[in-house]
Structures are given as structure tokens and as C-alpha cells.
Amino acid sequence: MATGSQTWTEELIEVGTTRLKVVTGGSGKPLLILHGELGYSGWLKYHETLAQNYKLHIPLLPGFGVTPRIDWIMNIRDLASWYLGVLDTSEQEDLNVVGFSLGGWLAAEMAAMCPHHFQSLTLVGAMGIKPPTGEIFDMFLVVAKDYLAKGILAPQTVEEFKIICPDEVSPEQLEAWALSREESSRLGWKPYMHDLSLPNLLNRLKELPTLLVWGKEDQIVPPSAAEIYSNSIDKSHVVLLDNCGHQPEIEHPDKFAQIVHDFVSKSHR
């Protein structure tokens, strides 16, 4: 959460029979932010920085602790189709989208289905691709707090780690993590957190500027996955961050926000 006066708001959007909660903040060109497998962690420093130049839209996706689960959504491709429908009703096109981890997989699926919806695509430690070297870490081998810690190279040095993973976890947060893990499992269990067909669909993104941001020491999604994404998307480039794990937006928020801003501000089709 930002310090001082609150610079973001929450609203409920009616989508069919579902009420989707969306966090918005900032002003400027719209920037769609898709959270990862443990849900939305709150308004953080990188949000506040990006909100100086963009209007951030952060949907709290169905099943991840806030917006109710939608039973017919059985995999990430279903979720991508559903959220594209949300964009259709909002008449938003030429969006810049940033997806984190599971949200990166979701963003890639959405872009592969309807590339015309997007002006640029930024994938951060994205799941969805089977890494040629190493494996996507099984989040169910550990509890949620340990999973968050594994995703960051040096948690004790990261200013906002205590925000996303407090020492004393509230019952509400524990429930939200449990629901998010359950929904992640439901959507991406078999094969685990990837889709073998996705690399073959990404060739539709020939004209879509794409940025792939990875921490060199990512222990959740090996950086080798970025190679497959990059080889599958013509107009893509990879940024590998030193001394960084799976969450560059938390570990190096200023640097991360600058990288995203530099890319988005120059992207055009």
C-alpha cells in the first residue's frame, strides 16, 4: 500500500453473474496488470511508480481469494477467453499488459488469442512454457510463506517482503492464499503450470512488441523458459536481472518500473 494518502481505488464490475473486483490507480495510458498464482499482494512501490505515467488496472481474478470462482473456467485458456470477454464489454483495445508468473501465462494466452487487443506485452517470470533446462517449482511442496520466500533471492534484504509475507499472517490472508493455491492447481495442474501447445500459438504475435523480464536466479520458473518465449515471438527481447529471483517487481522495484516504462513508452505497432 502506498504511503500517505491513498492513490488507488477499488471498484466492482458486473460481468455476467460475477462481480469482478478491480484495483485502479494513476493516470495516463491504461496498463493492465495480471497478478500471479498467490493473488494480488496489495498496492506496492512499483505500482506507485508506474502510476505516475499510466492508469493501472489490476483485476482480482476469479477464484483467487476475492472475486468468486467461475466453475466453467477449467484452465488458463478458459480464463484468458473469459477475460478477453471482459475487455470486449469495456471496449478497451490497444492495451499494454504486464503479467507476473501465472498472470504472465494468462497474458500470453490472451495475446495469442486476440493480438489486436494489445499494444505491448510484458511477461515477468512467466509460467506457461516448459523450461528446456530445469523445472517450474512445485508450489505445493511448501507452505505459502515458504513459497514466497523461495521466489526472492534474499528476502531479508527486500524492503517490501514483509508486506507480501508478514511474520504474523492474518486468518484472512491465510484463507486468500489457500484459495489462490487451490485455483492455481485447478487451472494449471496437469501438466504442471505449462501448456505444451502454447509455443506453437505464440507465432500469432508477430507484430506485438514483447518484453520478457526474468531474474537470473529465479528458482520458481527457470530463466531458460524465457528462451522459448523469445524464440516463439518475433518482436521480443529478454532482460535478465542480476541478483534477482522470481519477483523483480519486489526485489528491484525502481529498476523494474523503469524497465517497464522505457519499454511501454516506446512500444508501437
Q: What is the mean pLDDT of residues 17-36?
A: 95
Fold of 8-266: Rossmann fold (3.40.50)
Residue 3 pLDDT greater than 60, yes or no: no
Q: Are 160 and 201 in contact (CB under 8 A)?
A: no
Quickly state the pLDDT bin for 135 (edges 50, 70, 90).
very high
Q: Report percent pLDDT > 70 for the chain.
A: 97
Residue 252 pLDDT greater than 70, yes or no: yes
Query: Which DSSP category does 125 fall into?
Result: S
Tell me the pLDDT tens digit for each residue of 180-209. Answer: 999 999 999 999 999 999 999 999 998 899
pLDDT value at position 269?
A: 61
Distance separating alpha carbons of residues 67 and 251, to the nearest angstrom? 28
Quickly state the pLDDT bin for 89 (edges 50, 70, 90).
confident
β-pairing, 18-26 vs 8-15, is antiparallel
Tell me the pLDDT tens digit for each residue of 206-228. Answer: 889 999 999 999 999 999 999 99
Average pLDDT for the chain = 95
233: exposed, middle or buried (C-beta count within 10 Å: 0-12, 13-18, 19+)?
buried
Q: Are 106 and 83 in contact (CB under 8 A)?
A: yes
Domain chopping of the chain, boundaries: 8-266
Tell me the pLDDT tens digit for each residue of 69-88. Answer: 999 999 999 999 999 999 98
Q: What is the mean pLDDT of residues 2-15?
A: 81
pTM comes to 0.96
Q: Are 152 and 253 in contact (CB under 8 A)?
A: no
First to last CA, the chain: 34
β-pairing, 118-124 vs 95-100, is parallel
**DSSP states of 75-122:** SHHHHHHHHHHHHHHHT--SEEEEEETHHHHHHHHHHHH-GGGEEEEE
pLDDT value at position 2?
A: 41
From 89, 82, 86, select the one nearest 106 (Cα to Cα). Answer: 82
Distance separating alpha carbons of residues 186 and 183, to the nearest angstrom? 5
